[in-house]
Chains A and B, each alone.
Chain A
Amino acid sequence: MSDTEYTSGGPQPQSDELPVGTAGPLVDPPPPAPTNAVEGSSTWSLLDRLGLAFCWFLGLLFCAIAAAIVIYLLIKGVQYLKPSMLVTPAASGFSEGESGGFSDAFIGTLILGVMSLSLALPTGVAIAVWLVEYGRPKALARVTEMTVEAIAGIPSVVFALFGTVIFSSTALGFLSRSNEGVVFGRSFFAAASMLSLEALPLIVASTREGLNAIPRHVREASYGVGKTKAATTRRILLPTCRPQIATGAMLGLGRIIGDTAIIVILLGATQNFSPVEGAPWPLDYLRGAGTTLTNFVYEASPTGNLNQPDKAYAAAVVLLLIVLLLNAGTDIIHRRARKAGTWSQ
């Protein structure tokens, strides 16, 4: 073994030039450890570089589209949106100045959001818990997964048509307006129950993800101190995956608020609340027809029946702000959940 072993190939070490007697390295120090620097695109062929340029173009294009939508709608909002519109119900009038605001639509959106979510959230969480914690028999679990996936894929118009059938049956007449045995079948109850199906798959998926992320030993520790499976789920698993459940609920709420087809078909074609006479207070409104912001935008657009584009812009801005708020809320929950850390396996 001699020095020639190291110096035979490659460049000669510079050690010869060192003054004799100084304590210098015999060979070059090893090259610095690799950093995070990555290969640039300068050595690529033209086609590869064009591809990368296309990537940049598309990325910037998407950002530009999103920015354009937000800025354009905000400008229109400043132009047309008056706070009084949120407290004035729609009225029939010849010009946009006479036809009131969209308070009923705004309140309708809030009511439907609360109603559908209070249906979808417990159901979705229960399905997810059953799938992850119980899931027997296996065949039923497989079928349930497929069902949830199918519900996610079914167009909302189909839900709406299905809703008109079941809520027009006389057995469910107490959920909507009925007149001499003929059931109208369009009400907040009808729309909310069908909208909750829209939100269900999102809540199930998100909750399942949360439950699956909890390692086995957490459950076993709980069983070890004598807790039942039900108690473990209620006291430990569900509180632990609360962020994921909240994320699913937010996503579902966004879907509920953004849906239009079900509202147009199942909430009655009207721009005002039409409470059912004779029913006790909250039920008379919930059994009656109504409207939401999405329905208002649809009807007030130039292709709709009202044709009041200025007011459609104003309602769309309110809708967009709600969606932006929901997105921000989801983000905050997500970030807080990540900060809380993950389980050690």
Chain B
Amino acid sequence: MEEDFQPEYGPKWSDQRVERLLGALVLGVVALLLALIVVVFVHGWPSFSHNGLAWFGPGGNVEEELAQISQSAETGAGYIYTFHAWPLIWSTILIAGGSVVLGLIAALFISVFLVEFAPSWMRAILTPVVRFLASIPSVIYGLLGVLVLVPFIGNHLISEHQKASVAGIISLTGYSLMAAIVVLTIMIAPLMVSIFTDALNSVKPGWLEGSLALGVNRWRTIWKIGVRAARPAIVAGTVLALARAIGESVMLAMLSGSTAFAPNPIDGLIFIFEPSRPLAPTIVKSSDQLSSPPASATLFAIASFLLFSAAVFSLIGWLTRRSMNKYLAR
């Protein structure tokens, strides 16, 4: 009778076998990421190697350069790779940086409000609102920006005098840094709020109570004790939001104006009304030129720059979040 006994999961799904199977799958995903990194860098290498460090530098008109690059594949007179990405990088820095700074301020105040001061009815409304704002597809933000915010900025915020003052260089229509930053802030602030509130909620209550018992009021307690204890989470959330802001492509392709122009803060406040062109939207806008080898190399070079910066930021965020656990009650 012993021989007839077939354990249900015995020989077929033994632990070792399952472990090996799952391990193989995990290795596959890790290998896929490595393949992605290698493929993107290898395909972008011709653009880097032809330009050297000048790739990151200023000089020339990015739009003309891109047009030349994609045309050079058809003429047969050798590929042209000349590309200076600084206006794109500068625009990315301005838009992502601006919206992360605004988003950080808004997210800090909102999460302090949610954790400590909001009455329960307000909390019941605000929590789903934040989650909803985070889940709206970026293309809807883009559409609303194009049809509502951009005309508003173009018609009411930019004066005729301002339009005339730069008429020879660029036309101010409302597609601007400002539109991009405002909408991007609304997109990334909810992400930060959810990380910040988690952290603030898990600050050891004894620390806060100790401060309250010493007579410090609730406002100063939450800022001096709570926010300070949650600092690693705040860094992590900000860095993750920065990675998201750098990678945002579709909404920015619709709102930033897609003009290779580098707005200059020295010109005064008018620079926030000027159009520009960040890195990620450039890939989406030029994706129909992928069949031409030099254009494809240029786009992959942009992608590897994005990949590198986003990966660095999300790893920093991950490391700070890991180290944070010792500060917070579990």
Contact = CB atoms under 8 A, between A and B. Distances in A.
A150 B287 contact: no
Interface stretch (A82-90, A275-283, A312-320, A336-344): A312-320
Interface stretch (B16-24, B54-62, B261-269): B16-24
Interface in A216-233: 227-231, 233
B287 A155 contact: no
Contacts of A161: 40, 43, 283, 290, 299-300, 303
A178 B14 CA distance: 43
B250 interface: yes
Interface string A34-67: 0000110101100010011011101100110110
A286 to B, nearest CB: 21
Chain A facing B: main interface SS: helix
Interface stretch (A1-9, A21-29, A95-103, A260-268): A260-268
A260 B18 CA distance: 37
B217 A66 contact: no
Contact of B136 (A44, A261, A320): A320
A302 B283 contact: no
Given A38-B218, A59-B118, A269-B288, A147 B29 contact: yes
Contacts of B33: 147, 150-151
Contacts of B139: 258, 260, 294, 297-298, 301, 316, 319
B29 A230 contact: no
B126 A59 contact: yes
A144 interface: yes
Size class of the B contact interface (CB-based, 8 Å): 35 or more
Contacts of A259: 137
Contacts of B29: 123, 127, 144, 147-148, 151, 200
Given A126-B22, A147-B30, A155 B249 contact: yes
B13 A228 contact: yes
A153 B310 contact: yes
A127 B133 CA distance: 29
A243 B243 CA distance: 29
Interface residues of A, number: 87
A211 interface: no
Contact of B26 (A39, A62, A140, A154): A140
A154 B284 contact: no
A153 B240 contact: yes
Nearest to B10: A228
Nearest to B189: A62
- Counting chain B CB atoms within 10 Å of each CB, the highest count among A145, A227, A234, A294 belongs to A294
Contact of B147 (A197, A257, A309, A320): A309
Interface stretch (A10-18, A110-118, A162-170): A162-170
B12 to A, nearest CB: 10
Contact of B110 (A59, A73, A147, A165): A59
A2 B307 CA distance: 79
Nearest to A295: B139
B64 interface: no
A149 B236 CA distance: 12
B53 interface: no
Contacts of A143: 30
Interface of A: 38-39, 41, 43-44, 48, 51-52, 54-56, 58-59, 62-63, 65-66, 69, 72-73, 123, 126-127, 129-131, 134, 136, 140, 143-162, 164-166, 197, 200, 227-231, 233-234, 254, 257-261, 264-265, 269, 294, 297-298, 301-303, 309, 312-313, 316, 319-320, 323-324, 326-327, 331
Given A59-B122, A127-B25, A162-B39, 16 more contacts: A54-B109, A62-B133, A130-B26, A144-B29, A145-B318, A146-B315, A149-B317, A158-B247, A158-B306, A160-B287, A298-B139, A298-B142, A301-B142, A303-B254, A319-B137, A327-B135
Interface of B: 8-10, 13-15, 17-19, 22-23, 25-27, 29-30, 32-33, 35-36, 39-40, 43, 106, 109-110, 112-114, 117-118, 122, 125-126, 128-133, 135-140, 142-144, 146-148, 186, 189, 217-220, 240, 243-244, 246-250, 253-254, 258, 280, 283-284, 287-288, 290, 299-300, 303, 306-307, 310-311, 313-315, 317-318
